[in-house]
Chain A
Amino acid sequence: SFVLTQPPSVSVAPGQTATISCGGNNIGSKSVNWCQQKPGQAPVLVVYDDNDRPTGIPERFSGSNSGHTATLTISGVEAGDEADYYCQIWDSSDYHQVFGGGTKLTVL
């Protein structure tokens, strides 16, 4: 089954740009979704289909996907963005959802 690899942690200062990677074999041929999970809360979808945002998600959140790496970019990082972020793809070959291991974003 498809494997998604994320860095365990990323740190960024407030106001700077955070980039979180998600690696997978030819992931650029798939559509990647990203969710945010704050402590004690259910996950929230922040980017879907590589670079679309659900209603209510700030434009600061964007995504890209090419080759073997998808990326979530958070511009102008705020303290409230501190959370775990998970990439996710739909593997249509076996009707499975696949999650990356998650990246903890720390705002310094």
Chain B
Amino acid sequence: EVQLVDSGGGVVRPGESLRLSCAASGFIFEDHGMSWVRQAPGKGLEWVSGISWNGAIAAYADSVKGRFTISRDNAKNSLYLQMNSLRAEDTALYYCARDLSISARPLDYWGQGTLVTVSS
């Protein structure tokens, strides 16, 4: 069974940092690209960042570029999101999601989400 378990969320002050993790199981992790998607309270889904299967390609939404860094450790079946210089507008539920790795790149499995709250 495919499982993605998100963790690392919490309450931080503006300007602080946080590192999210996503533990994957039930599939060959290195065969898939991965993404982080967030959802602010009462709002829609917003793609944050994505990484290729081998980590060679990393991409970011303009809203987080230069502040967030995505990475992965295929030996540990884990995905990470380092979030620096956090802002109030980064407050959201953060999901990791698996890329089905076909041309359409659908996100076919999602974690349960981890909540990040940025507040003074």
Q: Which residues of B contact A97 (CB under 8 A)?
A: 35, 37, 47, 50, 105, 107
Q: In the complex, how many residues of chain A place their beta carbon closer than 8 angstroms to a beta carbon of chain B?
A: 28
Given A33-B106, A49-B103, A88-B106, residue A98 in contact with residue B113 (CB < 8 A): no
- Knowing A43-B45, A97-B35, the reply to whether A33 touches B103 (Cβ < 8 A) is no
The reply to whether A98 and B47 form a contact with Cβ atoms under 8 Å apart is yes
Partner of A43 from the list B52, B104, B110 (CB cut-off 8 Å) is: B110
A-B contact pairs, 30 of them (CB 8 A): A31-B105, A33-B104, A33-B106, A33-B107, A35-B45, A42-B113, A43-B37, A43-B97, A45-B106, A45-B107, A45-B108, A48-B100, A49-B102, A49-B106, A54-B108, A88-B106, A90-B104, A90-B105, A95-B50, A95-B52, A95-B57, A97-B37, A97-B50, A97-B107, A98-B47, A99-B45, A99-B46, A99-B47, A101-B44, A102-B44
